[in-house]
Structure 1
Amino acid sequence: MGEDAAPRMKLAVPWGHIAAKLWGSRQGPPVLCLHGWLDNANSFDRLIPLLPKDFHYVAMDFGGHGLSSHYSPGLPYYQQNFVIEVQRVVAALKWNRFSIMGHSFGEGVCGHYGRSYSCTFPEMVDKLILLDRHFPLLLTEPTESENLLTYKRRMIEHTLQIEASQKPQRVLSPEEMLQGQSTASISSAGTCLCLSSGSCRPTS
């Protein structure tokens, strides 16, 4: 069950796709594997074949890593974005409860402190496996931590809900907008022409 033997999959996201590798039984208890910073899913190639075969292992490539699409220019690679990516993958796989195995930076994304997935969605996580832990605990007052996690969870759920309800939109080039092409598909109430000077004026 080496690198070549592991099937691959791609999950669609707004900026492209998230790539993942699969091992084990599809009917087994699910385990999501998160790699370290500037690494990829291949970092689990030698470990997972040594683990019990009756689990279903999915090792994802974070955005901008491995075979996953890079973020759009100007969008930073914040840890919170990777926490949202985990929720995207879990939703696509239709997992209700699963275990997480995180290595290095992946441990920080899935781990046991305030900005992590397991603290934001604790009911989703069955078991937590941390490899090469280096992220410190987030020391805050209990009430403050609870309020922060509630806010982050609502933000993630709201973001994904909005994306799911929207239809893909065609992006017009500045040339098309200035030439007045495809004006029928543009809402005059929310459209503006961005001029070379950097100013912006409504079209209506």
Structure 2
Amino acid sequence: MATAADSGDPLPVESSVWLAARPAAPARRRSEAPSGLDRERITAATVRMLDAEGLARFSMRRLAAGLGVTAMSLYWYVDTKHDLLELALDRALGELALSAGPAPEGWPGRLRALARGYRRLLADHPWVAPLTAAYPNIGPHARAFDAALQRLLDATGLTDPARTGAHLAVSQFLHGCGGTARRAPEGDFCLALDVLIAGIEAKATA
């Protein structure tokens, strides 16, 4: 089954699993649901399979086989494969350390730490980068990541429209590095990050 990531077409925001209201199943149907399964277990298994086999080989049938259930059993907990991939994406983003405390180097130090952590995440989970481009990224961990970035930009002293430009520049830099997370040497990445930070500092003091 092709995904939005396969086709290159982003999933519409209104189709996001985070906006879908899941009605409660009738009591009789709940009693028929497969035992030992829940969304958390299914999502964790999805992350493990994507890490091990990649996005191209992922399917609901293969996931179900790994869990020892039928493919139809998974649909008690998610409506579509898209839903499950969105859940897995946000779970992976939850691995980021989003410290809001002070850093010895102020906001530049915190931004460096955030960017390096994001780069490590993309290297550990290569499937995250294409899913980030394909899905709306409005899950709780994605929102927490953006809130952390917004707090960093608050500390720069920039005001609109410069602040908006800085947010776009940092977001594009972090998301764009996904394609080269495994190939670009650490030194090159850090140099590019230093240039980006220097540009924001120059704009803030202008």
TM-score category of the 2 structures, normalised to the smaller one: 0.3 to 0.5
Q: Radius of gyration: which is bigger?
A: 1
* Structure with the bigger percentage of strand: 1
**Larger relative contact order (Cα-Cα within 8 Å, sequence gap ≥ 6):** 2
